[in-house]
Amino acid sequence: MISAINQEIEAFLSSVKGINESSNQMILDKFSTSISDNLENGHLTTNVCMIAASVLKLNPKELAKDLEKHLKGLELFKDVEAAGPGFINITLKRKDFVSVLLKIKKIKEKFGESLIGHNKRVQIEFVSANPTGPLHVGHGRGAAYGDALGRILKATGNIVEKEYYINDAGRQIDILTASVILKIIQKDINNFFPQNAYKGKYIELIGEDFLAKEDFRYDNLESFAKNMPSDPEEEIDQVIKNLQGLDEKKWNAVKSFSLESIIKSIKDDLKDFNVNFDNWFKESSLGSLIESSSEISNSINKLKKGGMAYEKDGAIWLNTDSSGDDKHRVLIREDGRATYFASDVAYHKNKIDRGFDNLINVWGADHHGYIKRIQASIEAIGSNKERLIVKLVQFANLFKDGKKVKMSTRSGEFFTLKDLIKEIGSDAARFYYLSKQSDQHLDFDLDIAKSDSKENIFYYIQYAHARIFSLEQKFKETYPELDTNMRRIEDNTYSKCDMLIHEIAKYPNIVNKSALTLQPHLIIFYLRDLSQLFHSYYNDNHVLSESEENMLSIIFCLSAVRQTISNGLEILGITPMQKM
RNA sequence: GCGCCUGUAGCUCAGCUGGAUAGAGCAACUGCCUUCUAAGCAGUGGGUCAGGAGUUCGAAUCUCUUCAGGCGCGCCA
């Protein structure tokens, strides 16, 4: 319907005097015809006259009068009215207005889906937490956001691949390995434990699991902790070196065991959180600098060949000018080891080579200084930095009993994602993570998430869904022989549901907007508004005591409302409740 | 110092590719359960959209600036 109206508007515009091709195009690009906010403004609204007036320096109200006349003459609509500062409000014929109900009845869970993505291949990389410990609540936000984004983009016609990048190479993993070993041998070394080692309880548990599997013993540990450097960084490096020297085979065994154990726990946590990845990409698969044909060597060679990487002060640097980064960045250190950045450059080259149209990286907000150098690396390997979209997810503060929950990674004591799921459930957790724009700080209040008041929007929406579901069940039990229909709504002898119909018609636009702006929270606020309209209706109308004909139509409409709420929750990865 | 995010009702937040009277919930106060789920509904009060300037027919929305808060600025990852 909207596209038909826009065609008429286009025809109208060409008849406006003083218009030329460029101004015409400018207007067409900027105006919109949409479902009106409010039924008082008709079913559909367009702002084209105000846009045209500003481009053409005309009076918007007069233009609106002309367009009103034009549209009225078509007899396509029940009513057309110029209103306010120059809006055109259109009231549809009854049949057109209620047609959304038929559509939902027909396509069910596909209502809201679209093709605006044009089959673009989009890769979303998210979470990608270092496998050195359990996921905490900060990771949870990235997980909920990335996964919801994936679902939304998929529903809007993109081909989506979700990926987790596992940083399984480098120093962090060595520290992890050392931490586990030190816990295993703690009795023999007088409980020596460096400040910078990982401290959580999970470290001990991994050690115990390893011992259950195979024997572990070193000889001559008496002097192990003697003469350690006082600098914490140097100390942990020394510990790693010593342990590797004691028995390299054992070191490697503990290393791979610890890694696998943590990766498994991360996968389990994410699975419990209803987050699924299509691909788990290991940093180690990029190879090392020693192998001349590894991906990491190849990408650095390519950069050198292109003149974007160069040697200075004994290190290899990347020229990052193309993205306006503050300074050039080191790829290979003076001592010959690759930086984390070098791996990341190779990883992004790998992604580009896989042929995605767009890459979306979901990163913690603390990584924002990193964006420009990665963009520069993408340009440097000969691609276009616009292909990479980085979405920063700001921190989430957790509040419990009215107080902020302290997060301390250092001590190993933090609120994990697992704890959160245990506390409020996966669905509620996802919901609250998504309830605010991702690039803004989130105060996550556990007390509200568990409360049974209207303040708890999660249950408010679920309650609407459950109430309709229960109504449908009661109706089926009481009148098993009857089929619902929309006769009374279509002939306008029952119009109390109109607000609901008008609201659900907005849903596909909400999903599209959410996909275009990468903002899942729009769907949450929409669902709240829809639920509010439903609860209000439900309170004023006792459905099952209506006349049979009315009831058939009401249930028909409410089923569409339930379907819409269900679709909105599902697209966010949340399971709708059938009873509460 | 530089960069990014933020500042809207007492509190938590929507609204931001400029558009109709700035919206919800909580908190405060009033009502509504012998009927389909009261985890609900209806109502009242509450605003210098941080301050200032600019662009515009029109600014919470765009630009500049001041103030306030958060985060980041390694040959760490």
Distance B26 C1' – A182 CA (angstroms):
50
Q: Which nucleotide is nearest to A366 (CA to C1')?
A: B72
Do residues A508 and A560 make contact, with C-beta atoms less than 8 angstroms apart? no
Q: Which nucleotide is nearest to A536 (CA to C1')?
A: B41
Confidence of residue A360 (pLDDT cuts 50, 70, 90): very high
Distance B62 C1' – A397 CA (angstroms):
32
Which is more confidently placed, A104 or A226? Answer: A104
Mean pLDDT (whole number) for A377-389: 92
Distance B37 C1' – A93 CA (angstroms):
36
Q: Which nucleotide is nearest to A543 (CA to C1')?
A: B36
Among protein residues, the one whose C-alpha sits closest to the C1' atom of B26 is A455
**Three-state DSSP class for A359?**
strand
Confidence of residue A301 (pLDDT cuts 50, 70, 90): very high
Q: Which pLDDT does position A81 carry in this prediction?
A: 92
Q: Which nucleotide is nearest to A83 (CA to C1')?
A: B20
**Exposed e or buried b per residue across A396-426, where buried means at least 16 C-beta atoms within 10 angstroms of its C-beta:** bebeeeeeebebeeeebebbbbbebbeebbb
Please report, rounded to a whole number, the percentage of residues in chain A having pLDDT higher than 90.
71
Distance B23 C1' – A49 CA (angstroms):
26
Q: Which nucleotide is nearest to A328 (CA to C1')?
A: B75
Q: Which pLDDT does position A445 carry in this prediction?
A: 85
Residue in the block written with tokens 């003459």: A73
Q: Which pLDDT does position A448 carry in this prediction?
A: 85
Q: Which nucleotide is nearest to A338 (CA to C1')?
A: B75
Q: Which nucleotide is nearest to A34 (CA to C1')?
A: B19
Q: Which pLDDT does position A500 carry in this prediction?
A: 95
Q: Is the pLDDT of residue A87 over 80?
A: yes
Q: Which pLDDT does position A395 carry in this prediction?
A: 79
Kindly report the bases of strand B lying within 7 A of a protein C-beta atom: 2-6, 12-15, 17, 19-21, 24-27, 32, 35-37, 39-42, 56-58, 69-77
Distance B30 C1' – A429 CA (angstroms):
35
Distance B71 C1' – A21 CA (angstroms):
47
Q: Is the pLDDT of residue A88 over 80?
A: yes
Confidence of residue A413 (pLDDT cuts 50, 70, 90): low
Q: What is the CATH number of domain A454-570?
A: 1.10.730.10
Q: Which of A459, A471, A458 is nearest to A558 (CA)?
A: A471
Question: How many Å apart are CA A401 and CA A127, to the nearest integer?
Answer: 28
Mean pLDDT (whole number) for A285-297: 94
Mean pLDDT (whole number) for A365-379: 91
Q: Which nucleotide is nearest to A84 (CA to C1')?
A: B20
Give the CA distances from residue A71 to residues A7, A40, A75, in Å, rounded to whole numbers and listed in that order. 11, 19, 7
Orientation angle between helical segments A21-30 and A48-56, nearest 10 degrees: 140
Burial class (CB in 10 A: 0-12, 13-18, 19+), A431: buried
Question: How many Å apart are CA A504 and CA A489, to the nearest integer?
Answer: 15
Q: Is the pLDDT of residue A274 over 90?
A: yes
Q: Which pLDDT does position A412 carry in this prediction?
A: 55
**Domain regions of chain A by residue span:** 2-92, 123-128+138-152+277-393, 454-570
Confidence of residue A266 (pLDDT cuts 50, 70, 90): very high
Question: How many Å apart are CA A514 and CA A113, to the nearest integer?
Answer: 12
Distance B18 C1' – A469 CA (angstroms):
42
Among protein residues, the one whose C-alpha sits closest to the C1' atom of B69 is A441
Among protein residues, the one whose C-alpha sits closest to the C1' atom of B72 is A366
Q: Which nucleotide is nearest to A517 (CA to C1')?
A: B17
Among protein residues, the one whose C-alpha sits closest to the C1' atom of B14 is A525
Q: Is the pLDDT of residue A409 over 60?
A: no
Which homologous superfamily is A2-92 in? Arginyl tRNA synthetase N-terminal domain (3.30.1360.70)
Distance B52 C1' – A19 CA (angstroms):
39
Q: How many CB atoms lie within 10 A of CB A120?
A: 15
Q: Which pLDDT does position A232 carry in this prediction?
A: 86
Q: Is the pLDDT of residue A514 over 70?
A: yes
Distance B40 C1' – A452 CA (angstroms):
11
Among protein residues, the one whose C-alpha sits closest to the C1' atom of B35 is A542
**pLDDT mean across residues, chain A:** 92
Which is more confidently placed, A495 or A413? Answer: A495
Among protein residues, the one whose C-alpha sits closest to the C1' atom of B39 is A452
Q: What is the dihedral of CA A148, A153, A159, A161, to 10 degrees?
A: -30
Q: Which pLDDT does position A410 carry in this prediction?
A: 53
Q: Which pLDDT does position A262 carry in this prediction?
A: 96
Confidence of residue A125 (pLDDT cuts 50, 70, 90): very high
Of A49-63, A91-105, A289-303, the one with minimum mean pLDDT is A49-63
Q: Which pLDDT does position A215 carry in this prediction?
A: 87
Distance B74 C1' – A334 CA (angstroms):
14
pLDDT in tens, A449-476: 888 777 889 999 999 999 999 999 999 9
Mean pLDDT (whole number) for A184-191: 91
Distance B66 C1' – A27 CA (angstroms):
37
Q: Is the pLDDT of residue A411 over 70?
A: no
Mean pLDDT (whole number) for A508-518: 93
* Whole-complex ipTM: 0.94
Q: Is the pLDDT of residue A384 over 60?
A: yes
Which is more confidently placed, A210 or A217? Answer: A210
Q: Which nucleotide is nearest to A435 (CA to C1')?
A: B13
Three-state secondary structure readout of A111-142:
CCCCCCCCCCEEEEECCCCCCCCCCEHHHHHH
pLDDT in tens, A529-572: 999 999 999 999 999 999 999 999 999 999 999 999 999 999 99
Mean pLDDT (whole number) for A304-313: 94
pLDDT in tens, A229-239: 988 888 999 99
Of A286-295, A414-423, A455-464, A568-577, the one with minimum mean pLDDT is A414-423
Distance B39 C1' – A451 CA (angstroms):
8
Question: How many Å apart are CA A447 and CA A426, to the nearest integer?
Answer: 16
Distance B38 C1' – A471 CA (angstroms):
17
Q: How many CB atoms lie within 10 A of CB A78?
A: 15
Among protein residues, the one whose C-alpha sits closest to the C1' atom of B76 is A340
Q: Is the pLDDT of residue A85 over 90?
A: no
Distance B3 C1' – A220 CA (angstroms):
52
Do residues A490 and A94 make contact, with C-beta atoms less than 8 angstroms apart? yes
Mean pLDDT (whole number) for A361-382: 91
Mean pLDDT (whole number) for A137-166: 95
Distance B39 C1' – A534 CA (angstroms):
15
Query: What is the per-residue DSSP string for A196-262?
Result: TS--SHHHHHHHHHHHHHS----S--TTTTTT--SSHHHHHHHHHHHHHHH-HHHHHHHHHHHHHHH
Instruction: Look up the CATH architecture of domain A123-128+138-152+277-393.
Output: 3-Layer(aba) Sandwich (3.40)
Q: Which pLDDT does position A221 carry in this prediction?
A: 84
Q: Is the pLDDT of residue A138 over 90?
A: no
Q: Which nucleotide is nearest to A458 (CA to C1')?
A: B39
